[in-house]
Chains A and B, each alone.
Chain A
Amino acid sequence: MLRSERSTLRRFLALYAFLTLALVLVASVLYYRSEERIMLLRRKAQVADYAADQIKRLRRLHEHFPRERTYPRDPRFRSAIYDLEHVQIFSTMRNNVVDFRRDIYRHDGVIHFVKLLDSYYLGAKYLFIEIPDDRAWFWTTLGKTALGAGVALFLLALAGLYLARLFLSPMRRSIELLDRFIKDTTHELNTPLTTILANVEGLDSAGLDARQRKKLERIDLAARTVSTLYDDLKYVTLESERPARDSDIDLTELLKERLLFFETMFRARNLELHTNLHPTVMHADRRLIARLVDNLLSNAAKYNRRGGSIEVTLRPGELSIRDSGRGIPPEVLREIFDRYARFDESEGGFGLGLDIVRRIAERYGLEISLDSEPGKGTEVKVLWKDAES
């Protein structure tokens, strides 16, 4: 999946997940509240009987006060009386945080039922009946709510996945189309390209005059450029699925060979080449590492200025290619490894190069560091853990 595709998907999914969570949360709270309401209503009938009993006893106490002073108690519940000014007259309740505005509510492990008295026996306007909160109810309801929320989340996640697919399919289709087109084209390129290269090499340049030789060199250069491009395309479309054939490769020798291949291109652009190659061995597929090196060298040449320089340094664990080009603006640096992204529209190409570099680097756990200073040039470093060092 492409990075741009991925970030679109991520953004979409984040938004979707947020909305889904909010929705499920609200629904859960509403469900829980209504369940609580139903439970309280059920308890209310029972507690109203308790309240009626208690009021009868309060009335008797009111008539016999102060000869009789003992507040009536009942093993089935606890209670409290408050006067019109919300001052507590007496309480046997465990939890004395009371709410005068509601008729029944749960609070901190107890249920309070509030009954307003018609005659204020003992001055009491409010009678609170307290019964212990049913913990079992709480847990089963919480369980039911969580289960419902879980199922809803799961279904919504499925729907989200489906939507995301739907959302991405036009994008995916166009990329697939491009891939198929390149695959077909690549296949057709092979034969003519080999013919040109073989014939240019077969020509005897010694027998030509200076102008003819120059023209031949240009043909050679153009053919090699197309050949690199062909190799890239082949890698991307056909070969990336091929199992790698890893072996110990002599990087020094490989670099020398690739530099020779690019010699014509460097010369055509008047580039000065500095090399500092220490003997280095790496365990990898030779063709893949050649693709990686080719792409880095080709970029260093393409985005260089005329008469600039290229510096290639190789030592165990590090390959550095530094050019003296115009550099890469920082905002482009981030997406530079994306397939089909070219960081400079002024040069031709399919923008495959750095994507290939990235893929090969990922395959072998190589670290790529890009260090660019606009106007001065770019240094690409490939770093790996060398077995010897």
Chain B
Amino acid sequence: MKRVVFSLLILIGLGMALSAQTSIFDRNCVSCHRREGVSLRRTFMNALLIYSGEQNMKAGLKYFLRHPSKETSVMGEEYFRTHRLKAPTTLTDSELDAALDTYWQRYKVIGNLR
């Protein structure tokens, strides 16, 4: 009995670790950005320059990913002379929220300065 519970716990832990590795962010955002050759670090720093705070940035990006437009983009006019605008996201609301949470968590500046 004990061994069954133990191995179950290990399995659950493994599963969670795996799903974290291949989160919605990695599956959706990272893979496409890699394909398109648009650095997520660069988009993050550009977005930070405009949105500043965490909540403000998440809300702003959420809106942009649903309704992309050159006018509201953080990439700047220069970028769009050579590149196309991205297509609106197909993710659900909660998936998008989760992806943006991961994005912020991985790229944020707060806590990473010395």
A residues within 8 Å of B by Cβ? 62-63, 65-66, 69-71, 83-85, 87-90, 119-125
| Interface pair A89/B56, CB less than 8 Å apart | no
Min Cβ gap A341→B in Å is 79
Residue B5 interfacial (CB < 8 Å): no
Kindly list the 6 A-B residue pairs having the minimum CB-CB distance in the complex, ordered from nearest: A85-B53, A84-B52, A84-B53, A120-B52, A123-B48, A83-B53
| Interface pair A66/B110, CB less than 8 Å apart | no
Known: A66-B112, A89-B110. A122 touches B48 (CB 8 A): yes
Q: Is the interface of A mostly helix, strand, loop or mixed?
A: loop
Nearest CB in chain A to that of B47: its residue = A123
| Interface pair A65/B53, CB less than 8 Å apart | no
List of B residues within 8 angstroms of A87 by Cβ: 53-54, 110
19 A/B residue pairs, CB under 8 Å, sorted by A: A62-B45, A63-B45, A65-B109, A66-B41, A69-B112, A69-B114, A83-B52, A83-B53, A84-B53, A87-B54, A120-B49, A120-B51, A120-B52, A121-B49, A122-B109, A123-B49, A123-B57, A123-B109, A123-B110
Task: Choose among B48, B56, B112 the residue that contacts A85 (Cβ–Cβ < 8 A).
Answer: B56
| Interface pair B45/A65, CB less than 8 Å apart | yes
Q: How far is the CA of A352 from the CA of B54 in the complex (A)?
A: 89
| Interface pair A84/B49, CB less than 8 Å apart | no
Nearest CB in chain A to that of B108: its residue = A123
Task: Count B-side interface residues using an 8 Å CB cutoff.
Answer: 17
Q: How far is the CA of A62 from the CA of B53 in the complex (A)?
A: 15
List of B residues within 8 angstroms of A69 by Cβ: 112-114
| Interface pair A62/B49, CB less than 8 Å apart | yes
| B53-79 interface with A by 8 A CB criterion | 53-57
| Interface pair B50/A120, CB less than 8 Å apart | yes
Most chain B CB atoms below 10 A, which of A63, A70, A120, A125: A120
List of B residues within 8 angstroms of A125 by Cβ: 52-53
Known: A65-B45, A65-B109, A122-B109. A71 touches B53 (CB 8 A): no
| Interface pair B109/A89, CB less than 8 Å apart | yes
List of A residues within 8 angstroms of B110 by Cβ: 83, 87-90, 123
Q: How far is the CA of A71 from the CA of B112 in the complex (A)?
A: 10
Min Cβ gap A125→B in Å is 5
List of A residues within 8 angstroms of B49 by Cβ: 62, 119-121, 123
List of A residues within 8 angstroms of B113 by Cβ: 69-71, 89-90, 122
Known: A69-B112, A87-B110. A120 touches B48 (CB 8 A): yes
| Interface pair A124/B52, CB less than 8 Å apart | yes
Known: A62-B49, A69-B114, A119-B49. A85 touches B109 (CB 8 A): no
Q: How far is the CA of A21 from the CA of B56 in the complex (A)?
A: 52
Min Cβ gap B94→A in Å is 23
Kindly list 5 other residue pairs between chains A and B, CB separation below 8 angstroms, not including A69-B114, A83-B52: A62-B45, A69-B113, A120-B52, A125-B52, A125-B53
Min Cβ gap B113→A in Å is 5
List of A residues within 8 angstroms of B57 by Cβ: 123
Nearest CB in chain A to that of B50: its residue = A120
Q: How far is the CA of A90 from the CA of B57 in the complex (A)?
A: 18
| Interface pair A83/B54, CB less than 8 Å apart | yes
| B95-114 interface with A by 8 A CB criterion | 109-110, 112-114
Known: A62-B45, A65-B45, A89-B109. A123 touches B114 (CB 8 A): no
Nearest CB in chain B to that of A124: its residue = B52
Q: How far is the CA of A90 from the CA of B113 in the complex (A)?
A: 7
Task: Choose among A66, A90, A123 the residue that contacts B53 (Cβ–Cβ < 8 A).
Answer: A123
Min Cβ gap A287→B in Å is 96
Nearest CB in chain B to that of A91: its residue = B113
Q: How far is the CA of A57 from the CA of B55 in the complex (A)?
A: 26
Q: How far is the CA of A121 from the CA of B53 in the complex (A)?
A: 11
Q: How far is the CA of A83 from the CA of B57 in the complex (A)?
A: 11
Q: How far is the CA of A388 from the CA of B90 in the complex (A)?
A: 115
Q: How far is the CA of A122 from the CA of B113 in the complex (A)?
A: 10
Min Cβ gap B48→A in Å is 4
Nearest CB in chain B to that of A122: its residue = B109
| Interface pair B50/A85, CB less than 8 Å apart | no
Min Cβ gap A231→B in Å is 96
Min Cβ gap A319→B in Å is 91
| Interface pair B114/A85, CB less than 8 Å apart | no
List of A residues within 8 angstroms of B45 by Cβ: 62-63, 65
Nearest CB in chain B to that of A62: its residue = B45
Most chain A CB atoms below 10 A, which of B45, B50, B109: B109
Min Cβ gap A182→B in Å is 90
